[in-house]
Structure 1
Amino acid sequence: MGRLTASRRVTRVTLDGVNRQRPDAVAVEEPLEIRVAGSPLAVTMRTPGHDVELAAGFLVSEGVLSRGDQFARAIHCGGPGTGGADGNTYNVLDLTLAPGVAPPSPDIARSFYTTSSCGVCGTASIEAVEKVSTYDVSTDDVHIDARDVAAFPERLREGQKVFDKTGGLHGAALFDVASGEILVVREDVGRHNAVDKVVGWALLHDRLPLRGTVLQVSGRVSFELVQKAVMAGIPMLSAVSAPSSLAIELAERAGLTLAAFVRGGSMNLYTRPDRVAVPEASASTTPSTTRPASVR
């Protein structure tokens, strides 16, 4: 596995005129080429680590995989000019699907390069992005207390070990609602990569669909993050920051509960608020401060 952090010299400047040079830990960003049966599928910029989970989650998001037994194996491989003296590299990953599993369709092929901030760039069309999930999240009868949801961002933050060193990584965590247990935490320079690693972890542990869970992310919610949650059968997505209009529309159509601006003891519930139990206002609370959690 490649390095997660790198050290760089920086000049620390303060407004009191004290300037000094010191080493600074930064998050590593490197390309990962994903191949299936030797055929190139996509290149994404990511933080090295949990690459097999990343690739597996990517294939779940693309509708190629939906069960753990559909994934056979993965190997880091090299080629001319891609590695060291032995030709090996940790930036090329070749996946093998189980016998009988159809390979990715050419319709989902990327323009062969995506940035760490874009998980759908280069798809053939916007219609190709909105996949039909194997799982129906609208039928999941999961219910959760709003106070538990409010605590998820800090619990995710506590699990972001590389963020502590660099301050430069997105995080995603999966919570089991029944037990309150945090199942997995993953970090990456890309929001979508962090989520793919979580979904890939679930696939490799044969836990799809992820019924009765909440996906917590450290940043904003785009269409692609909602799509990835729906494809994995996750009924609720919670975010620290804002959602996009398209993310809300997809969550509404899919029946996914979307919570955003989850911070400081409050949240906005944009879709399916019936799954979140909101504490009753105290008798001393005035009507102007007892608005539903879905209003901000």
Structure 2
Amino acid sequence: MSVPLLSVQDLSVVYPGSPPVRAVEGCSLAIGRGEIFALVGESGSGKSTVARAVAGLVRPAQGQILLDGVPLEGLRGAAAKTARRRIQMVFQDPDASLNPYHRIGTSLAEPLRVRGIKDKAAIEARVSELLAMVRIDRALLDRRPRELSGGQKQRVAIARALAMEPELLIADEALSALDVSTQAAVGALLRELRDRLSLSILFISHDLLMVRHLADRVAIMRGGQILEQGVCGAVLDAPAHRYTRLLLDATPDLARGGIDLDAEEALLDTEGDVA
């Protein structure tokens, strides 16, 4: 049996305070190569804390996070940097991750320089490739984030993450601040990137409609714990836990669909960039 790209084993995260807050407790999951794995729960369920722990932004109190079977916590120096570059994160608010004073071209060139690419022509060529991947017009290169739509900014944030050539992309509520049509377009883009790049995606969301159409497998979180997980269709069609059934009851259009990612992918192929 192949080793999963990412394995989270018995993860617990405690935030300091009086009293301390145990945000995640005993969380375990695995993500295979080329898989979209959704972590679903309401606000405060701990799903974003799991994402931040995987990205190395918070330190676990217990448990292990392994990349290709290698514990990340034990890595030091160049090995740690290399491993961390294989995991990149796209946040809910692109305005928080894009420098408002930098032009889009500068924001995309910066991670390439961090990777050690110095040649100006090589950087320009790679920036053009990244723009094409996320279907952004080159005319936007000289614009600043405030001059872009919400969907365009999130595409730039995705391109910036892809500049590091990750194997795992964490999308932490990356669609929730967008309008419904733009959510569908960017969701279709994520699925397209998964297929093209054999990219694994940890998709953090509270939107079961999008999860239904995007994810291969899903885990349901509440109170810092995973209540159930499995193949997306099986969990959402026949939930084993009462809480999952309550979430489904709160999403009345789930059975009828409502988001056609295949149609959005076809629209991308024929019309190019969608704001």
**What TM-score results when the alignment is normalised by the length of structure 1?**
0.27
Larger-gyration structure (1/2): 1
The alignment's TM-score, normalised by the length of structure 2, stands at: 0.29
